[in-house]
Amino acid sequence: MKALVLEKTRHLSLRDIELPLDLRPDDVKIAIETVGICGSDVHYYTHGRIGPYVVEQPMVLGHEASGVVVETGTNVRHLKPGDRVCVEPGIANDKSRATRLGLYNLDPEVVFWATPPVHGCLTPLVIHPANLTFKLPDNVSFAEGAMIEPFAVGMQAVTKARVTPGDVALVIGAGPIGIMVALAALAGGCSTVIISDIQDQKLAIAASYDGIVAINSREDDLGAFVGLCTDKWGVDIVFEASGHPSAFNGIFEFIRPGGTAVFVGMPVEPVSLDIVSAQLREVRIETVFRYANVYDRALALVASGKVDLKPLITETYAFGDSVQAFERAAEGRPRDIKLQIRLGKDAR
């Protein structure tokens, strides 16, 4: 089959590659329709590695996917050929200690699409476990279905934050994940979400949603703005979603006594934290790695209309233009939130 293959750093090919398509009893075969380009895909393209995960051989990219079931294994009952679906891309060992604790995202043996050496889904057909494949309601498009994966990260962050209705939150970083976190926080009960960034175009997109207040932290004093919004009390929750090392400087000063900090973004280098500042407020610290047990709820929120992800889709490319799509993603244009690639029937 044809696939978008990362040959090595900064070298992509759209070419034929042999991929396994053996259907086991608990699997489904899926014709991929839409795939979103994630920051991790771009990072593998530009740097060839993320932490301990190093691209050492050609790898198919992509893990944010929707599609159509074309065949089911003999044990599958809840899906049938023709069903429109989205896919949770991490396959854990169901017998591991992490999985038995409900933390399957932390299973050391997890197999996650487009994480070396595992191939991703930018190819016309894939095999995947049926229990990680979710039927799309009729009112959810393939494009929205492919957005459930990044939205699940926001759902995980909000779940870890233990939002109380009426909370005020601050999200640092208005990239795709930052905005997903903000939308999940509103859906989870926050009355207001302040979102900060240094790119006005991204902030304008975030501020188009009711309940989100945007601030350019390069031009304005974020601490003073938080104080103004909270009568100098501080926000209930800070979500750090940028991963930029400088974002951690003074981060606990935005939080009210007894509040929460949730670290979502992954810094590319070690960062320093003012632990005393956290202790003086008894800040609860939570961290996020992907997601677990939230995919169905993320999909339900989109289907209900409570969360609208459509404004975050900046542009869609044809499968034949996948290389150009990644070249654009690597540019990091300020107005781009989510680029997608549509495979459709022509790719098959």
Q: Are residues 141 and 183 in the same domain?
A: no
- Residue corresponding to tokens 């779940």: 159
CATH number of residue 228's parent domain: 3.40.50.720
Q: Are residues 33 and 76 in the same domain?
A: yes
CATH number of residue 19's parent domain: 3.90.180.10
In whole angstroms, give the CA distance from residue 268 to residue 281: 27
What is the per-residue DSSP string for 244-295? -GGGGTTGGGGEEEEEEEEE-S--SS-----HHHHHHHT-EEEE--S-SS-H
pLDDT in tens, the chain (348 residues): 999 999 999 999 999 999 999 999 999 999 999 999 999 999 999 999 988 899 999 999 999 999 999 999 999 999 999 999 999 999 999 999 999 999 999 999 999 999 999 999 999 999 999 999 999 999 999 999 999 999 999 999 999 999 999 999 999 999 999 999 999 999 999 999 999 999 999 999 999 999 999 999 999 999 999 999 999 999 999 999 999 999 999 999 999 999 999 999 998 889 999 999 999 999 999 999 999 999 999 999 999 999 999 999 999 999 999 999 999 999 999 999 999 999 976 554
In whole angstroms, give the CA distance from residue 325 to residue 158: 31
Number of domains in the chain: 2
Q: Are residues 180 and 88 in the same domain?
A: no
- On whether the pTM is more than 0.85, the answer is yes
The neighbour count for residue 101, using CB atoms within 10 Å, is: 11
In the prediction, which pLDDT does 179 show? Answer: 98
By the 10 Å C-beta count (0-12 exposed, 13-18 middle, 19+ buried), 263 is classed as: buried
Q: Does any domain span residue 95?
A: yes
Domain that holds residue 207: 153-287
Q: Does any domain span residue 298?
A: no
**Helix/strand/coil percent split, the chain, to 5:** 30, 30, 40
DSSP 307: S
In order of 40, 90, 110, 159, 162, the CA distances from 83 in angstroms are 28, 21, 26, 29, 34
